[in-house]
A and B are shown apart, each in its own frame.
Chain A
Amino acid sequence: MWGVVFGLYVAIQALTYATSYKTLASRHLLVQEFGRNVGISALVGPAIRIGTVPGFTAWKCLTVLAIIGAVWAILTSTKLTRGEEDAGRWELLLIGGVTRKSAAQQAMLGLMAGATVLFVLTAVITAAVGHSSEVRIDAGGAVFFALAVTSGVFMFLAIGSFCGEIATSRRQGAGVASALLGTSYALRMVADSGTGLAWLRWATPLGWVEELRPLTRPQPWALVPIAASVILFSLATFVVAGRRDLGAGTLSDRSSIGTIRRLPMTPFGLAIYTSRTTLIAWAVSIVAYGLLLGSIAKSGGKIITSSQSLRQVFVRLGVSGAEAYLGVALLIMAVALSFVAINQVSAAEREESSGQLENLLVRPYSRYTWMVERISLGASVLALGGVLAGVATWIGAASDGAHVDLATLVDAGINVAVPALVLFGAGILALAVIPRFVSTVTYALLAWFSLIEIVGGAVNLNHWILDLSAFHQMAASPASPVNWTANVAMIIVAMAAASLGVVIFQRRDLKGE
């Protein structure tokens, strides 16, 4: 299925470009606008020869798909290896005469086979689209391009499996692997932000993917570090798998605690305590991206406003270049906060399905209290995350001498938290109505929001469809003023969904093991 998604994404980008920028002049303008735009290049990679359909396609797809693929790879590989082990299913296999090592090898083989299918599908669809006279990508180019796009999947399948082996649980494994992906993205961002640190690209997996430069100036030798990392992490996975006990990990996890820690031992304190690692990791990522975005805002903005027509628009709106750039770039924060929202809902769902919640609910502690505490925690985390994003971006921008107000950026930060709040409210409702499908529903919603935001503008969608995306409702602050009417409406929708969730949750059977 993912192969089709990848392929379709490529096809849409190529065809959109071919149809929206028909004339040479319009393409020339595009090159001027984005070609040397440091800000944009920091976000999605440098634009090489975007005046051609293949060049534009490669630029629009490569980093985005590499990241999506890597996230998918991490979730799948840790689930298939560590998740199954946590659930106790590996035990059955291992009793059946399979060694730990060969089990890990077979799992890896299965994962790589899946990734190969993904690669083939992407290649076939790209080649098919490339056949069109408007696009013109030859078969060889299509294959190399598909390889580049899916190389992130291959690498992070191996990395995810390795992290799954060294961690003590699936969550920890996925967390470590995600941190590696985040670091890789951040390093690549620095490398691509024109700071003279371009060599850093060679130090990060996502940088290698970029260095492949498919469809423009192919550099096949960048496959060497990619292949090497796949092989190395795979081998390391097998070694660790063969040596450790079932259920154990290498990462520290003390089994005994000397003294009682001074924790606030209430259900609410517990909810914070059990999600603390994830929350801290997200806070650090949000601050890091905020600082990065802020510090490249000025140069990013300069290039946006170097286009005559765009500058006039922004001057009329009274928006500085940096603000214009941040208006677009902060969408990343909206996506990041959406992940935090999903994470909060899943944590609540896990507490119920694992049977842990039952321990509280059989005592004088009501379902209502639990739900309300969970909702307050999630909403506060999202609001704080928004403020944090705004403040970090401001610090980054101020350090680079960009003239942006702290208040404006805090507003913008809260602004990007609003769609995440909508997702959170919907997630709470899903938790009450269809608890088993909470992740499916929330991820589908996020994908829907993002897809409309990415494709919507280009394909002239009906405004009703556009209106259904919370990202679309959100104003591109600080490039344009925060639309408080839309935000209040979204908050009301979120609160209504969550309240309905609370009511329904009190009237259904509790799920448990």
Chain B
Amino acid sequence: MTSPAIATFDLTKNYGSTRALIGLDLQVGEGEVLGCLGPNGAGKTTLIRLLLGLLIPTRGRAEIFGSDVQRDTVASHQRLAYVPGEANLWPSLSVAETLRLLGQVYGDVDLKYQSKLIERFDLDVNKRVRALSRGNRQKVILVAALMTRADLLILDEPTSGLDPLMERAFRLCVHEAKDRGQSVLLSSHILSEVEALCDRIAILREGSLVEIGTMTEMRHLSAVSVDMTFERDVPDLAGVDGVSSLEVQGHTVRCLVRGPMEPLLSAIANCGVRELLSREPSLEELFLAHYGSTASDASDHDDE
């Protein structure tokens, strides 16, 4: 098969006057893991729902392995599995029944892998869905998607509600899928998750594709947020290599640092640093630093 796993052509979706997705041209190759980053309301979920044929595009079209998602919806679904950010399952069914139902609708399920997944995610299959916590429901929908071994996995913020241990189990599954040559579209607003799993990253903002490239090409995006408190007056850090987004408030400073820490560290040496905290910046902070504005005023359709 030479068709790409995902191909969109001028894909556009408007909700009334709100433009949720604007003329998107995107390709995900076979065996590729593409991360889709963007703040809430950037159009990630709209894109995914269009790819699944759940929404009707205002303009343009999309293909999954060469099948048009509107005209040959069923054919395109035969080769993909999808994990939504929130699992809306049937409360009265047990976990086992849910998996059986969803497996039957898909058609072909790797039962051996299914049992492995159930064990890995520590699921009690005899429990009714009603009695499960949000995280456990998310695990059910994850297992239901992964057990198909579909050629394309579409994951929409799949780790919401999972604890760190389960997040690790999830990452292991994505690596396995990659090793088997499955393609993955992973939407997320957690930079480190995308960094750890993806070959390429696409950045959406206010419905448009802002940038797309490999992780190395996106190096400029990875930065560290540093908070410092000084005993004396704050030194002037504006000209220091790699430092940006300076915010000074009394004796405290917050800034982003790209590349090596060394220049900053030498600049603050002997300036009476009382406290220094560094952490991964939120996507909002990165976007603010890189693109000048957040997308918080964009459509809210991603949250629907």
Contacts and interface: CB of A to CB of B under 8 A. Distances in A.
Nearest to B94: A257
A366 B73 contact: yes
Interface residues of A, number: 35
Query: What are the 9 closest A-B residue pairs judged by CB atoms, nearest first?
Result: A355-B88, A255-B131, A510-B54, A362-B82, A265-B101, A363-B105, A257-B94, A364-B77, A509-B55
B74 A366 contact: yes
Interface of A: 168, 253-258, 260-261, 263, 265-267, 270, 273-274, 354-356, 358-367, 507-510, 512-513
B88 A363 contact: no
A355 B86 contact: yes
A358 B88 contact: yes
A273 B78 CA distance: 26
A270 B101 contact: yes
B74 A509 contact: no
Interface in B22-67: 49, 52-56
Given A261-B97, A513-B88, A363 B127 contact: no
27 contacts: A253-B130, A255-B130, A256-B124, A256-B126, A256-B127, A256-B131, A257-B128, A260-B100, A261-B97, A265-B104, A270-B90, A274-B92, A356-B89, A356-B90, A359-B89, A361-B52, A361-B54, A362-B54, A363-B77, A364-B74, A364-B75, A364-B78, A365-B74, A365-B105, A367-B73, A512-B304, A513-B86
B102 A359 contact: yes
A257 B126 contact: yes
Given A253-B130, A260-B96, A265-B97, A363 B90 contact: no
Contacts of A365: 74, 77, 105
A363 B148 CA distance: 11
A513 B304 contact: yes
Nearest to B95: A257
A255 B91 CA distance: 10
B158 interface: no
A179 B86 CA distance: 35
A512 B54 CA distance: 10
A419 to B, nearest CB: 32
A263 B97 contact: yes
A267 B128 contact: no
B190 to A, nearest CB: 22
A365 B130 CA distance: 25
B106 interface: yes
Contact of A258 (B54, B126, B130, B304): B126
Interface in B94-119: 94, 96-97, 100-102, 104-107
A363 B106 contact: yes
Interface of B: 49, 52-56, 73-75, 77-78, 80, 82, 84, 86, 88-90, 92-94, 96-97, 100-102, 104-107, 124, 126-128, 130-131, 141, 144, 304
Contacts of B126: 256-258
Contact of A509 (B54, B73, B130): B54
B218 to A, nearest CB: 29
A364 B107 contact: yes
Contacts of A266: 101, 104-105
A274 B89 CA distance: 12
Contacts of A260: 94, 96-97, 100
- The winner among A255, A274, A366 for most chain B CB atoms within 10 A is A255
Nearest to A513: B88
B94 A512 contact: no
Contacts, number: 96
A352 B211 CA distance: 35
Nearest to A362: B82
A513 to B, nearest CB: 6
A507 B88 contact: no
Given A257-B126, A266-B101, A361-B54, 13 more contacts: A255-B127, A256-B124, A256-B127, A257-B127, A258-B126, A263-B97, A270-B101, A355-B86, A363-B105, A365-B74, A508-B56, A509-B56, A512-B54
A95 to B, nearest CB: 17
Given A256-B127, A265-B104, A363-B102, A356 B88 contact: yes
A513 B124 CA distance: 26
A360 B141 CA distance: 12
A265 to B, nearest CB: 4
A256 B126 CA distance: 6
A358 B84 contact: yes
A513 B86 CA distance: 9
A265 B106 CA distance: 12
Contacts of B88: 354-356, 358-359, 512-513
A367 B96 CA distance: 25
A175 B84 CA distance: 32
A449 B281 CA distance: 62
Contacts of A274: 90, 92
Contacts of A364: 74-75, 77-78, 105-107
A262 B107 CA distance: 19
A384 B101 CA distance: 27
A356 B96 CA distance: 17
A356 to B, nearest CB: 5
Nearest to B104: A265
Q: Which of B92, B102, B124 has the most CB of A within 10 A?
A: B92
A361 B78 CA distance: 11
A266 B88 CA distance: 17
A363 B52 CA distance: 9
Contacts of B89: 356, 359
Given A255-B130, A260-B96, A265-B97, A360 B54 contact: no
Contacts of B124: 256
A258 B130 CA distance: 15
Contact of A256 (B49, B75, B128): B128
Contacts of A263: 97
Contacts of A362: 52, 54, 77, 80, 82
Contact of B56 (A253, A507, A513): A507
Contacts of B106: 363-364
B197 to A, nearest CB: 21
Nearest to B106: A363
A135 B301 CA distance: 58
A253 B144 CA distance: 25
Contacts of B127: 255-257
A364 B103 CA distance: 11
A362 B77 CA distance: 6
A365 B102 CA distance: 11
